Amino acid sequence: MTDRTSVEQAIVDAHRREWALVLAATVRVARDLDLAEECVQDAYVQALTAWTRDGLPTNPAAWLVTAARRRAVDAIRHDRVFRSKLPLLVEPDGTQMDDHGPGDYIDDPVDFVPDDRLRLIFTCCHPALVREAQVALTLRLVCGVSTGDIAQAFLVPEATMAARVTRAKKKISVARIPFRVPKASEFPYRLDAVLSVIHLLYTTGHTAPSGDRLVRGDLVDRALHLGRMLLALMPDEAEVRGLLALLLLTDARRATRTDTGGRLLRLAEQDRSGWDRAAIEEGRTLVLGAPRLGRPGRYLLQAAIAAVHAEAATYADTGWAQIVALYDQLIVVWPSPVVALNRAVAVAMVDGPGPALREIEALERDERLAGYRYLPAIKADLLRRLGRRTEAAVAYRAALDLADNAAERAYLAGRIAEAGPA
Amino acid sequence: MTQYAILIYAPAPGDAADVPPAEMEAHMAHGTEVEKMGGRIDVGYALQASTTATSIRGDVVTDGPFIEAKEVIAGFYILEARDLDHALDMARRNPGTWRGGVEVRPLLV
């Protein structure tokens, strides 16, 4: 007998660390996402009794895979499951797509544990699924997060999230989205979808779009966990490395983003001694060790920019010229007006607020930025620095009208009060 | 193999006379291209311009396509593919994507 608390802890750990591996390996046998999920859930439940009775297994993941796959095999043999006419298409490890039925894999040696996590991730983030479904499926299938918790994180009713997950699974089955890693010709845009999902998870957690807390820590942790998993699975992909570096370098500032009252602090105001040095070091090492072949992608460039910020002793002492140069590269691979906006902030530090304001005014004509709350906020800051207080107050008010996060609103309201009555 | 309907959307009214010669030529060659990629086109048709369409909603008969839009269905065919990735790979080479686009939709079987 092992004591129950340590078994429970081991199961919690195995859930967080091994869920993706266990589920992906079970999908191969179950050929159905719902059945696989059910069997994996069961395996975790079984583990509680078995591990308490027999002690912790040396390889918990292998134990769970074996248990889950046995259940799947059993369910298929005894026809206890609804036999879908459309079993998930699992591409064997060659390149040829198979045409087997759902039962053909049940003779697989049960103790063989393939690492199918990449297939699982690419299936969840398939571009034929709408982005919000990709996000929900990734949390549910890759991270093992319950639908209720996903719903809570995205501030939608649980029924809405459940319907979203069901619809996405149905599309995977009916439209025949295969359980496979994309081939080289599809790889760049398929990988981009995966990276976007992880990045979106992070930013949703990092700046909660509404509500009182600025950071929803669990989503941030899940995003970091996914970033690390992906890099372990694809160590040679520069953009995977870039994404994890970007998340680490951004997250290193987590503790200093708001003051004790929850007020949002600008980069210039943050207490740099509160930055997480270990995360910064890890992020910088990833950026510096990135393969130099070819043109750097958007995540690696953003990470490089974040690294320049992270290594600066003060806001004023930041390598702003280097940051402008990195933005010049970034805008080529990612021609987004938001990038141009952030570049203007760096330009203000190199050439002063006047030239930066002219760039901002040009960007105001870009329809894609209409309603983007950071545009009037940045404009307001530049006007303030130029001493144009009345115009600054007007711009702060425009930003306030667009913000719905309480911490951001408080920051903007403070700025308006500072500028005096408009 | 799975069957997909490929619906080709072209700028309204989707008149075959508006199709540039190079695109028309590519349409003719697309079937061979699909076969080389391991797929198969079961059956396919091009349509007359949407100005010739008549729609019925409930019991009201109107002139024109069912949904007024900048792009209209100009043709369709049934594509056999191994899976969605295979189907998308072939469909993205359809010259219909040059001026308009295609919708890939599994058949109910």
pLDDT in tens, A287-321: 999 887 788 999 999 999 999 999 999 999 999 99
Predicted model pTM: 0.86
ipTM reported for the complex, 2 dp: 0.88
Is residue A103 predicted with pLDDT exceeding 60?
no
Average pLDDT over residues A140-162: 91
Q: Do the Cβ atoms of A128 and B84 come within 8 Å?
A: yes
Q: Which residues of A touch B82 (CB under 8 A)?
A: 89, 97, 178
Q: How far apart are CA A204 and CA A151, in angstroms?
A: 13
The C-alpha atoms of residue A401 and residue A279 are separated, in whole angstroms, by: 35
Stretch A138-142: mean pLDDT: 96
d(CA A279, CA A265): 20
Instruction: Give the residue from B30, B33, B36, B22 showing the smallest Cα distance to B75.
Output: B30
Average pLDDT over residues A381-398: 91
Q: Sort out which chain A residues have CB atoms less than 8 A from B84's CB and list them.
A: 126, 128, 175-178
Q: List the Cα angle A381/A382/A384 in 5-degree steps.
A: 65
Task: Give A175's contacts in chain B (Cβ within 8 Å).
Answer: 84, 106
Contact B85/A178, CB-based, under 8 Å? yes
Chain A residues closer than 8 Å to B106 by CB: 174-176
Task: Determine, for residues A97 and B88 on separate chains, whether the beta-carbon distance falls below 8 Å.
Answer: no
Name the residue in chain B with its Cα closest to that of A186.
B89
Confirm or reject contact between B3 and chain A (CB < 8 A): no
Interface check for B2 against chain A (CB to CB < 8 A): the answer is: yes
- Which residue of chain A is at minimal alpha-carbon distance from B81? A176
Question: Can you count the helices (H) and strands (E) in chain A?
Answer: 18, 0
Q: Do the chains contact at A97 and B2, CB–CB below 8 Å?
A: no
Q: How far apart are CA B10 and CA A32, in angstroms?
A: 37
> What residues of chain A lie within 8 A of the CB of B83, using their CB?
89, 97, 176-178
From the first residue on, what is the mean pLDDT of each consecutive set of 10 residues in chain B (109 residues)? 96 95 95 97 95 95 94 97 96 96 95
Tell me whether B106 touches chain A (CB under 8 Å): yes
Q: Which of A12, A7, A25 is nearest to A70 (CA)?
A: A25
- Comparison of pLDDT for A247 and A206, the residue scoring more: A247
> Which chain B residues in 31-60 lie under 8 Å from chain A, judged by CB atoms?
none
Q: At what angle do helices A33-54 and A158-174 cross, to 10 degrees?
A: 110
The answer to whether the CB atoms of B85 and A186 lie below 8 A apart is yes
The pLDDT value recorded for residue A104 is: 42
Our CA-based measurement puts residue A175 at a distance from the nearest CA of chain B, in whole angstroms, of 5
- Select the more confidently predicted residue: A113 or A324: A324
Greatest alpha-carbon pair distance for chain B in Å reads 46
> Residues A72, A29: contact at Cβ < 8 Å?
yes
* B106 CA: distance to closest CA in chain A (Å): 5
